[in-house]
Amino acid sequence: MEWLSAENIVAVGTAVLGVLTSAGVLWYERRVPRRKRIGYRIQLDTPIGRDGHDGRANVRLGWFAEAPGMEDATLVLLRIENDGSQSIDESDYTRRELHGLEAVFAERTIRGVVVSVPRTASHLMGHFTEAAGLRYDGATLCIPRVPLNRGEHYKLLCVLSGGGVGREVRLEGGIKEGDIKPNRSTTPDDKPPLFSRAARVITVLLTVCVVVLAGIIVVRDDSRPPMGCAAGELRVIGSTAFAPVIEELADKYEKDCEAAHPTVTVDTHGSTAGIRALDEAGADAKDGSPPVITLSDGPKPAGYPHLRESRVAVSVFALVLNDDVPLKNLKLTDVRRLYRGEIRNWKQLGGPDLPVRLVSRDANSGTRQVFQRRVLEAGELANTSLDCVNKDTPDAAVVRCELDSTDQVLKTVAKVPGAIGYSELRAATSLKGLHRLNLDGEEPSLDALEHGDRDGYPYREIEYAYTYGQPPADSLASSFLAYMSRGSGQDVIRTHGHLPCATPEGLRICGEDP
């Protein structure tokens, strides 16, 4: 079987290892760290009288030489920390006594204790009082019920006598739904490991798999075209708003399928014009489906029964306003009044004293049709200006002009004071002199559409790809349509600010929207 190739086996093995690792980490994150936990570590255990290891005398001056019973004195620095995933409250300690924990120094006697806390946790110091249970008796140090947030700690420096260094030190007590465990403490000469043993093993295995897979890919024969590539010529027409996506996809397809020598020509003049041209090409074709794909902003009009649709992406559009008008948000009701000619000057909406100039697309534009259907819920006014500045008819309500492409609309809005227009979302961010508008407080955003309220922002539409009937499975048209929905094609679509319909979230939105 073809799929049982060396690179596929290594790739599957790598994927399985990655899945198992991810599942293990998820289990660990959900099960292990959720318990409350206090950890403690001995950071210092050193003689200040005689050396507890071999009995050699140290040099001692002052109190250590004069105080009785301190010949074998030792210093122990005990660090107590919350190293779990949850905060610990005073009520989480389970002892019946006033204090919450006990530090026991086996075979030694406590002579003095100093408490220290980090500057960021200075509030903890108020808990270390005799009234809260801080005291010591013999080898036992009673520690109050100190609340600890995640990662907080405090230190206890204890002066001891009666035994050498290295004797047992343990922390006793209990935590509700948690535990108290010793942690390994590193001395100044120790270097803690960067990765745990499990992490090192997993990293080595994944590295070996990746290196083997890369080696197979390097040495294999790539003279054949990739699976799914097709030869021939293809013309892609229709939406000017989606043209940048198609142009990049065409270039990438020709490079990826270079061995098959495909030619993909992009010639966009508007969605409606593309629909008509495809239907005419199909009617004239002798062998059924011509090598033509039309991209349309929204579904095709009625009356084209032979056109077969594929849902490609969700496109977000935006209203754009000249920077001389500093408004950032418009109500839908005000947008509809603008395009009915009821608002003639921006000062009526709280803006500057500038006449309203509507810069629109021609009747072939899918972007315009989406705007009329999704935002206005009606058609636009008749054209009243050729230069987008002056009225051709003096008694016209407002200046309104029509242009052939998204690029022309954006450039005109950017240079004409008081101008408002609309375009595909990503194109609306590339020019100076204009800014995008929110609608009813909803921001035009692909991220908000994908992860937020899908019903909030109205000016959006599905991008359709149409063919005349079903193109042959081995044709360039079928191959290019499949290429758009795969990984490389999805990446290009996302890069240009659209949500691919082939993604899980895209499938849901593309399936729900009419």
Q: Token pair 């991220």 is at which residue?
A: 447
pLDDT at 508: 82
pLDDT at 166: 86
Helix (H) or strand (E) holding 234: strand 232-238
What is the rounded CA–CA span in Å between residue 98 and residue 95? 8
pLDDT at 455 exceeding the cut of 70: no
User: What's at 402, amino acid-wise?
Assistant: E
pTM: 0.51
| Token digits of residue 70 | 């301190």
Half-sphere exposure of 34 (CA within 13 A, CB side): 6
Instruction: Provide the β-strand partners of residue 403.
Output: 361
pLDDT at 58 exceeding the cut of 80: no
What is the rounded CA–CA span in Å between residue 114 and residue 483? 70
pLDDT at 240: 85
pLDDT in tens, 399-445: 999 998 889 999 999 999 999 999 988 877 778 999 999 999 998 88
pLDDT at 52: 45
Q: Tell me the pLDDT of the chain averaged across its residues.
A: 85
pLDDT at 494: 87
pLDDT at 34: 55
pLDDT at 100 exceeding the cut of 90: yes
pLDDT at 25 exceeding the cut of 90: no
pLDDT in tens, 188-239: 444 545 555 666 677 777 777 777 766 666 565 444 445 578 999 999 999 8
Q: Where residue 159 falls among pLDDT bands split at 50, 70, 90?
A: very high
pLDDT at 143 exceeding the cut of 90: yes
| Mean pLDDT, rounded, for 307-330 | 94
pLDDT at 277 exceeding the cut of 90: yes
Say how many Å lie between the first and final Cα of the chain, rounded.
42
| Tally of helices (H runs) and strands (E runs) in the chain | 12, 21
| Mean pLDDT, rounded, for 306-328 | 94
Percent of the chain topping pLDDT 90: 53
Q: Which of 48-57, 349-358, 483-492 has the lowest mean pLDDT?
A: 48-57
Q: Which of 250-259, 260-269, 396-405, 425-434 has the lowest mean pLDDT?
A: 425-434
Give a three-class secondary structure readout of 415-435.
HCCCEEEEEECHHHHCCCCEE
pLDDT at 513: 65
Instruction: Provide the β-strand partners of residue 175.
Output: 93
Half-sphere exposure of 477 (CA within 13 A, CB side): 24
Distances (CA, A) of 221 to 71, 218, 299, 401: 80, 8, 43, 57
Q: Which of 1-10, 59-68, 121-130, 330-339 has the lowest mean pLDDT?
A: 1-10
Residue with the bigger pLDDT between 52 and 64: it is 64
pLDDT at 23 exceeding the cut of 70: no
pLDDT at 177: 86
What is the rounded CA–CA span in Å between residue 381 and residue 400? 8
pLDDT at 190: 46
| Mean pLDDT, rounded, for 448-476 | 85
Give a three-class secondary structure readout of 263-309.
EEEEEECCHHHHHHHHHHHHHHCCCCCCCEEEEEECCCCCCCCCEEE
| Mean pLDDT, rounded, for 318-328 | 96
Could you tell me the domains of the chain?
37-50+59-182 (2.60.40), 230-513 (3.40.190.290)
The number of residues making up the chain comes to 514
